A = this chain, B = another copy of it.
Amino acid sequence: MERRKTELTSRTLKTPKGTQDWFGLEVKLRKQIFQALSGVFECHGGQELGTPVFELRDILFSKYGEDSKLIYNLEDQGGEIYSLRYDLTVPFARWIAMKSNVTQVSRYHIAKVYRRDQPAMTRGRYREFYQCDFDIAGEYEPTIPDAEILLIATEAFQALGIKVTIKLNHRRILDGILAVAGVPDEKIRPVSSAVDKLDKVSWDEVRREMIEKKGLEDGVADEIGGFVRNRGDMRKMLTFLRSNSRLMENHDSQSGVEELNLLVSYLEAYDIADKVFFDLSLARGLDYYTGLIFEIVTALPDRTSTSESKTEEVQVGSIAAGGRYDNLVGMYGNRHVPCVRISFGFERIYTILDARRPKEKGGSQSGPEVDIDIVASGGKDDGLLLERMAYWGNSLRQPKLMQQFRAAGRVPITVILGPDELAAGNVRLKVARDKLSDAEGATETDREKNRGTIIPKDNLVVEVNRLLKQRRSGLLT
């Protein structure tokens, strides 16, 4: 075929904005994280689901509020109209709605999602990124699944070795606060968004946004501030809320407080109540949440005070988040299936764990792991090629035996083929550390010279397997 040359040069070669390649050690760390998470998920009865990377566009739209503009669309090339998935929750709700025989299920899903957001890749913020989701769907006793979701969060970050705080709130409590303060229905969601910024900007700025941009009266804004600047221990916060009789007359707030009151008793039984921090300003962007909402951060905020205190918060953003969404599945059919979810932000977790990892020479370019190499005597790479291949291809075709021509790095076991030895029906077997070169029949001289051990070639496979077993058990390094 003729060699064609396109206009592309190495300058224009790149991955799409906000995306990246993964290779070598990066993939290894990624797998370790996935394994830690799926291990916890499976302990909690999670079954894995996979869905297509795109969905019918109608299924995605209207579920994300303002964020819908961040959805990637596929071109109309005739036929159905698609968009890339924005999260794993909507595909899960679509799946549940299709499976009328599934009434209760715990499913997990680890896959990439897509958002046309402003990327900040050094802080682990991408346009193509992994979500690792666990959802409990179906009717259960109130807040028991919510408590299990928070237990899963705690166990997962324990497995990952990351110290976290769970910030939680209840959407109906927040809605009730805004209603009681006098915010009209149609402004509840926009005002929530303003309140949600309290973890990043000062109260004065949030207050100004509510008054100037959302058109609230000063007194309304101040009443909201009297609530949402409070945060702290769940029991203490619940007492604070219950003490406000006007708030307790609001149906939404009252049910939210009752739910959290039940939830905290379960969290105490699980012995994880001390990981939880009740923050009335937490709103979360997604439209579909209906009850508990939470996000998980690495910092440890001051838990002793119920007043505003943000000195210890970090700027990494949340590394997991979730909440209850009871109505999403119902939007796709006639079945009401209440759900609660947690979603782990893989890239941010990766960023934290990668920063801890001792950086090796060569970084992610380090070679593959090699157990065994087969060379010709004198170390020539091109000597006795067919004979060496015969060993690779046949006798030594065993899992974990390496067959490659230039081994990267130090190889623990080397088989050396020489014309004289082969003629006598022998091969030479050399182990990287001569003190462990204890192949059957080794002579002292052989060991001292570290030239390996001569063994009958018919014993090679048995002997190599013995050495590899030793190696795996830690005797040979």
Which residues of A are in contact with B by a Cβ distance under 8 Å?
1, 3-10, 12-17, 19-24, 27, 30, 39-40, 42-56, 58-59, 62, 72-77, 79-80, 82, 84, 94-95, 97-98, 100-102, 104, 106-107, 112, 114, 116, 128, 140-141, 144, 147-148, 151, 155, 171, 175, 265-266, 269-272, 287-290, 327, 330-334, 365, 367-370, 382, 385-387, 389-390, 392-394, 397, 399-408
Q: Which B residues lie within 8 Å of A75 (CB)?
A: 72-76
Given contacts A21-B95, A82-B16, contact A3 B327 (CB under 8 A): yes
For A267, the closest partner residue in chain B by CB is B393
A-B contact pairs, 20 of them (CB 8 A): A1-B327, A8-B59, A10-B98, A13-B59, A13-B94, A16-B54, A17-B79, A21-B95, A27-B47, A27-B48, A42-B369, A43-B400, A43-B401, A44-B404, A54-B128, A77-B116, A106-B368, A141-B385, A269-B393, A270-B394
| Chain B proximity of A269: nearest CB distance (Å) | 4
Residues of B near A407 (CB, < 8 A) are: 45
Interface of A is mostly: loop
Knowing A23-B49, A394-B271, the reply to whether A266 touches B74 (Cβ < 8 A) is: no
Q: Are A10 and B97 in touch, CB under 8 angstroms?
A: yes
CB pair B399 A269 closer than 8 Å: no
Minimum CB–CB distance from A285 to chain B (whole Å) comes to: 13
- Please tell me if the beta carbons of A45 and B402 are within 8 angstroms of each other in the complex: yes
CB < 8 Å: which of B30, B40, B387, B402 contacts A44?
Answer: B402
Query: How long is the Cα–Cα vector from A5 to B334 in the complex, in angstroms?
Result: 10
> Are A270 and B4 in contact (CB-based, < 8 A)?
no
Say yes or no: A44 contacts B403, CB within 8 Å.
Answer: yes
Is A382's CB under 8 angstroms from B49's CB? no
This chain: copies in complex: 2
Question: Among the interface residues A97, A369, A399, which one has the most CB atoms of the partner chain B within 10 A?
Answer: A399
Q: How far is the CB of A76 from chain B (nearest CB, A)?
A: 8
Chain B residue at minimum C-beta to C-beta distance from A336: B3
Q: Is the CB of A10 within 8 A of B45?
A: no
* B102→A58 contact, CB < 8 A: no
Contacts of A327 in B (CB 8 A): 1, 3-4
Q: Smallest distance from the beta carbon of A93 to chain B beta carbons, Å?
A: 10
Which residues of B lie under 8 Å from residue A393 when comparing CB positions? 151, 269-272
**A405 neighbours in B (Cβ, 8 Å):** 140-141, 144
Tell whether, in the assembled complex, residue A270 and residue B23 are in contact, meaning their CB atoms are under 8 Å apart. no
Chain B contacts of A19 at CB under 8 A?
Answer: 52, 54
- What residues of chain B lie closer than 8 Å to A77, measured between beta carbons? 72-73, 116
**A266 and B21 alpha carbons, distance in the complex (Å):** 34
**CB-based contact A53/B53 at 8 Å:** yes
Shortest distance from the beta carbon of A397 to any chain B beta carbon, whole Å: 6
Most B C-beta atoms less than 10 A away, residue of A58, A75, A266, A288 = A75
Please name all residues of chain B whose beta carbon is closer than 8 Å to the beta carbon of A10 when the two chains form the complex. Answer: 97-98, 100, 332-334
A43 and B82 within 8 A (CB): no
Name A49's contact: one of B9, B27, B331 (CB within 8 Å).
Answer: B27
**A334 contacts across to B, CB distance below 8 A:** 10
Give chain B nearest CB distance to A78 CB in angstroms.
9
- Cross-interface CB contact of A141 among B106, B382, B392, cutoff 8 Å: B382
CA distance A281 to B329 in the complex (A): 53
Given contacts A44-B402, A271-B394, 20 further A-B contacts (CB under 8 A): A6-B62, A12-B56, A13-B94, A16-B52, A19-B52, A19-B54, A27-B47, A42-B369, A43-B399, A44-B404, A45-B368, A72-B75, A75-B76, A102-B365, A151-B392, A151-B403, A155-B397, A270-B389, A270-B393, A272-B393
